[in-house]
Amino acid sequence: MLRRELALALRGGGDVLTLVLFFVIVGAIVPFAVGPDKVLLARIAPGIVWIAAFLAMLLGLERLFRPDHEDGSLVLLRQADLPLSAIIAAKMMAHWLVSAVPLILASPLLAVLLAMDLASFWRMVLSLLLGTPALAAFGAIGAAVTVSVNRGGLIAPILIAPLSIPVLIFGVGAITAEQSNAALLFLAALSLLALALAPFAAALAISSAED
């Protein structure tokens, strides 16, 4: 199942490039908006990286459920042998692999553009690794809830953003030096919790949508 989802996700291969580009561009735009002062940039770099990651992960959500909803395969998947929550977990994992991992690989670029120092850089990578699964989970919930809505792609971010605030808070907190370990722990805990619960919540939402 995971393989199928991965294959589907990768077939939209051009999207991966778009996503990474979007991520880098958001980061690159910031110096133009706030000026090239390196001290300032280094201070806000953690925040910018996480904002860019959050926005980029939102991009990939459209492909998560909507194509299956539109061609009717969601209904079929509900009746498959695997429970719907397992299928959704597979989709979430595929989404994370295709969206978050490229992000993380591209993050050194952002670190350089935003004058991040080396120690912060490694903390950033770690925080992204631990935190993006939670973003994927909340994104899946948002996508599942809006799958049967016509302009769902517009509403989903509104729903996902408040849920993602703790991820942003802990993610950024993990990059800035003090309290970093505590933040990383919270981030990991949040991701675990979100990953565990999101498939069930999303499955419930989709079952109700496909009735």
- Sites of contact with another protein (CB under 8 A): 141, 145-146, 148-152, 155, 158-159, 161-163, 165-166, 169-170, 173, 178-179, 186, 190, 197, 201, 204-205, 208-209, 211
Contacts of 161 (CB under 8 A, 6+ apart): 54
For another protein, the closer CB: 54 or 170: 170
Cβ distance to another protein smaller for residue 14 or 162: 162
Smaller CB distance to another protein: residue 31 or 166?
166
Q: What span, in angstroms and rounded, lies between the C-alpha atoms of 206 and 88?
A: 10
The dihedral region occupied by 82, where left means phi > 0, alpha psi between -120 and 50, and beta the remainder, is: beta
What distance, in Å, lies between the first and last C-alpha atoms of the chain? 23
**Least distance from C-beta 204 to another protein, angstroms?**
5
Minimum separation from the CB atom of position 171 to another protein (A) = 10
Instruction: Transcribe 27-49 into DSSP letters.
Output: HHHHHHHH-S-HHHHHHHHHHHH
Tell me which amino acid residue 159 is.
L
Compute the least distance from the CB of residue 50 to another protein, in Å.
Answer: 13
Integer Cα distance of 66 and 55 in angstroms: 19
Q: Which long-range contacts (CB under 8 A, 24 or more apart) does 2-11 make?
A: 2/90, 2/93, 2/94, 4/90, 5/90, 5/91, 5/93, 5/94, 6/94, 6/97, 6/98, 8/94, 9/63, 9/94, 9/95, 9/97, 9/98, 10/98
> Taking the complex as a whole, how short is the minimal distance between the CB of residue 127 and another protein, in angstroms?
14
**What minimum distance in Å lies between the beta carbon of 191 and another protein?**
12
**In the bound complex, what is the minimum distance in angstroms from residue 68's beta carbon to another protein?**
16
3-class state of residue 56 by DSSP: helix
Q: Which is nearer to another protein, 99 or 164 (CB)?
A: 164
Q: Cβ closer to another protein: 81 or 211?
A: 211
Nearer to another protein among residue 97 and residue 155 (C-beta): 155
